[in-house]
Amino acid sequence: MKHPFKRRIYTLAQAILISLTATTIANAATANTPLEYASITELGTLMASNELTAVALVEHLTQRIADLDKQGPALHAVIELNPQVLDIAKALDEERAAGQTRGALHGIPVLLKDNFDTADSLQTSAGSLAMVGQPAAADAFVVKQLRDAGAIVLGKTNMSEWAYVRDMDLPHGWSGRGGQGKNPHLASESTCGSSSGSASAVAAGYAPISLGTETNGSITCPASANGVVGVKPTLGLLSRSGIVPITRLQDTPGTLSRTVRDAALTLNLMQGIDAADSATSGAPTGIDYTALLSNDALQGKRIGYPVAYVGANGKPLTPGVEFLMAMAAMQEQGATIVPVTIRFPYSADYIPSLMGGMKHELPEYFASRPDLPIQSLQALIDFNKTNPGTEGHGQSMLEAINDMDMTHDQARASLATISEKFKGAIDEQLQEHNLDAMVAEADGYSQFAAAVAGYPAITVPSGMDDDGLPTSVFFFGKAWSEPQLFAMAYSYEQASAELRHPAFK
């Protein structure tokens, strides 16, 4: 995939102290699933039956990270661990022992991409050494939602520095602060996208869930490349407050997980209207994204698949073997698969408009963190010149953004126009063919189109190719159609069972 936007025991239970060693816990997960690969539901069941505590889980996962991230295969997926994590886990275990359980993520470790603000000792640096210094004073809105629900912030994940807008020649998964991230399936291959560490970490069994962000391809691509489930929601469904921006005109947080249900459970807790992010004002709230999950959710559904994109950058598509098998599996589940041709109204103004958004929004983010060592884009550029690092990576994108004279209103108007064209191109096919959704493989074009339209998408593993790399299918549809997309993705996931754990080659 070379497309630029792609390729873990301590508890009090009924006043009884139960002490279990990490080895005992590692054998106590489930009959078929090692603890590091257990789902949120499986982990919650073990905790509810007093077979597992959050402390033991955290200990197991942090040891796994120590074994695999900086030694062994040295994935460099985690940029920093939370030094308070055991104290937090112990407090949550005590809550559970007292009969107080906050929900599905109570005591569940979560990893965060290094662009989510956290009100603790963890840095929020977007992978940049220039940003290391004073931690954020408050949690990002969605991080607070998860903490309030009992999730444990285990640490921060590596990412493509500045969400891959430092320089377009930057290696995917590299940051000055975290080094070069690796794909756990095949270390010589790309982790892809800027949420690279979040995807790699979940695939490697560091945590059942991680948060990422996407502007265009930064969740969908690493989900595909690392063989995990990636959810990019409708633009505005989740708050962007407290997240280092490219631009809110297209940025959204999302999830990386090993199962569709885990993603849906997490999205349940992240939703909510944020007064500091006007885009959330029209979003649906109180939705249970697990409500429609069933093995037969594909029955009777009409799903389009792109056989071609026509337009400036469009081309005919040749489905891969794994995608043909995936469509056959959907048909066996009762879906009707409909070939469609989608207009691809790419505009040369697209990238400049994103850059224009960042030019004005990054200073606003700096202003929200006045104790940072840098306070302007120019200061960032100057830091990188003085501290080039042994790799000598450039910063042409940052420099170009700094030199732009585009106003924020101009960037907003340009992106709105382009987005409407992509919405129209997708809506046209959904309406003409009476489709419930569309599905594609990791062709780059479908992912790009859904991102520009601001439409929701779910990436699900579909197997492995001949090179030993994960393949995926990509469900996407109209705005706010997440419940239906989750249902279809879940039905396919259960029928295909194509999640593969990495071999660390």
309-319 per-position pLDDT tens digit: 998 555 678 99
Separation CA 77–CA 198 (nearest Å) = 7
Q: What's the sign of the alpha-carbon dihedral 264, 270, 272, 273?
A: negative
Q: What's the sign of the alpha-carbon dihedral 422, 425, 429, 434?
A: positive
CB atoms closer than 10 angstroms to residue 237: 26
pLDDT in tens, 330-376: 999 999 999 999 999 999 999 999 999 999 999 999 999 999 999 99
Separation CA 61–CA 42 (nearest Å) = 15
SS (H, E, C) 203-239: HCCCCCEEEEEECCCCCHHHHHHHCCEEEECCCCCCC
DSSP summary character for residue 257: E
C-alpha 129 chain-centroid distance: 22
Residue 67 lies in a domain: yes
Separation CA 94–CA 150 (nearest Å) = 12
The count of domains in the chain is 1
Which structural domain range is residue 71 located in? 19-272
pLDDT in tens, 438-488: 999 999 999 999 999 999 999 999 999 999 999 999 999 999 999 999 999
DSSP summary character for residue 135: P
pLDDT in tens, 392-420: 999 999 999 999 999 999 999 999 999 99
Rounded to 5 degrees, φ, ψ at 173 are 90, 0
Residue 419 lies in a domain: no
Residue 307 lies in a domain: no
Residue 359 lies in a domain: no
Residue 70 lies in a domain: yes
Strand partners, 126: none
CATH number at residue 216: 3.90.1300.10
What value does the mean pLDDT of the chain take? 93
Residue 447 lies in a domain: no
Residue 397 lies in a domain: no
Separation CA 192–CA 6 (nearest Å) = 6
Q: Active-site residues: which are they?
A: 113, 194, 218
Rounded to 5 degrees, φ, ψ at 456 are -75, 155
Residue 46 lies in a domain: yes
- The model's pTM is 0.94
